[in-house]
């Protein structure tokens, strides 16, 4: 094993592997050490989203670079990272949300990110059914994406698998808010249009009890009492 290199990168997550790749490409002799296996850290858990509509200038430019980079990576390495590029539709229902999108927009412009604002009237003129179908959840999945039913079934099945693997025990699942809502709606047998009818606060805890014959009881929801005393220093 080499004992001397120009750059030693510690940790083979998204950040370490990217730094090692770019340093090596820039002509630096680079070595990467990983204590477990590549992507064993938080990178393994990430959804891999690279939204181009962000609050931060740096984040937007890094994401823009990454989107272009993933497109060229397969051609260079022959390995498919499973990255797919899709559009992004955001709805503002309040002036505050609109102000937030205007800020995103000004950042997006600095990275030449194509975007457009449409009023409900303009959306209606383009596709009379779309707006109504969106709010009544009749819109099918985005191209290459999942339908709401698929998201519900997938997230609920993942929780059931974890519960089945630890019968009689307690299972802690950490996940994104929307995944929690989809999973809950499915497990509690809620109708499709009620899927996003409740909000899950960041770091909150939701408790479910799994009985025999698959019966599920919601025993706690959106509990973030543990975070109330935390004060930023
Ligand atoms: C559920 C979830 C969803 C997410 N979704 C997104 C998303 O959609 N989009 C997005 O941009 N980000 C997302 N993130 C955030 C993203 O995953 C992280 O910001 C990113 O993976 C951090 O990468 P990293 O390389 O810094 O850390 P890690 O991936 O944690 O890598 C650190 C590596 O260092 C190794 N290591 C640690 N100590 C040592 C040592 N002493 N010696 C050798 N090796 C060591 C670890 O084993 C690990 O492999 C998500 C995160 C989570 C948890």
Per-residue pLDDT 10s for the chain (233 aa) are 788 999 999 999 999 999 999 999 999 999 999 999 999 999 998 888 898 888 888 999 999 999 999 888 888 888 888 888 877 778 887 888 899 999 999 999 998 988 999 988 888 888 777 767 766 666 665 555 677 888 899 999 999 999 999 988 999 999 988 899 999 999 999 998 888 888 888 889 999 999 988 789 999 999 988 887 776 66
One domain, residues 152 and 218? yes
16 CA to centre of ligand 1 in angstroms: 9
Residue where one domain finishes, among candidates 95, 117, 139: 117
- Single out the residue of 170, 160, 145, 165 nearest to residue 214, CA to CA: 160
- For the question of whether the overall pTM of this predicted structure is more than 0.75, the answer is no
Q: 78 is in which domain, residue-wise?
A: 50-117
Residues near ligand 1 with C-beta < 6 Å? 10-16, 33-36, 40-43, 45-49
* Radius of gyration, CA atoms only, the chain: 22
Residue 124 lies in a domain: no
Domain count, the chain: 3
Q: Is residue 141 one of the residues assigned to a domain?
A: no
How many angstroms is it from 215 CA to the middle of ligand 1?
35
Q: Which of 105, 122, 123 is nearest to 114 (CA)?
A: 105
Quote the longest CA-to-CA distance of the chain: 66
């Amino acid at each position: 094993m080499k004992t001397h290199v120009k750059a030693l990168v510690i940790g083979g997550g998204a950040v370490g592997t990217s730094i090692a790749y770019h340093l090596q490409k820039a002509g630096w002799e680079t070595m990467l050490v990983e204590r477990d296996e590549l992507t064993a850290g938080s990178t393994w858990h990430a959804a891999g989203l690279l939204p181009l509509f962000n609050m931060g200038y740096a984040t937007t430019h890094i994401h823009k670079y990454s989107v272009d980079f993933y497109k060229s990576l397969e051609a260079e390495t022959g390995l498919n990272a499973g990255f797919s590029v899709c559009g992004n539709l955001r709805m503002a229902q309040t002036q505050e949300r609109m102000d937030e999108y205007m800020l995103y927009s000004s950042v997006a412009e600095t990275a030449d990110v194509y975007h457009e604002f449409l009023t409900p009237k303009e959306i209606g003129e383009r596709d009379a059914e779309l707006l109504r179908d969106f709010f009544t959840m009749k819109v099918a999945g985005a191209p290459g994406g999942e339908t709401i039913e698929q998201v519900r079934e997938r997230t609920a099945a993942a929780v059931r698998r974890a519960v089945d693997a630890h019968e009689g025990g307690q299972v802690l699942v950490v996940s994104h808010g929307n995944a929690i809502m989809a999973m809950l709606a499915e497990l509690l047998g809620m109708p499709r249009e009620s899927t996003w009818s409740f909000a899950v606060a960041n770091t909150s805890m939701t408790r479910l009890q799994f009985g025999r014959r698959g019966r599920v009881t919601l025993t706690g929801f959106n509990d973030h009492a543990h975070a109330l005393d935390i004060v930023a220093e």
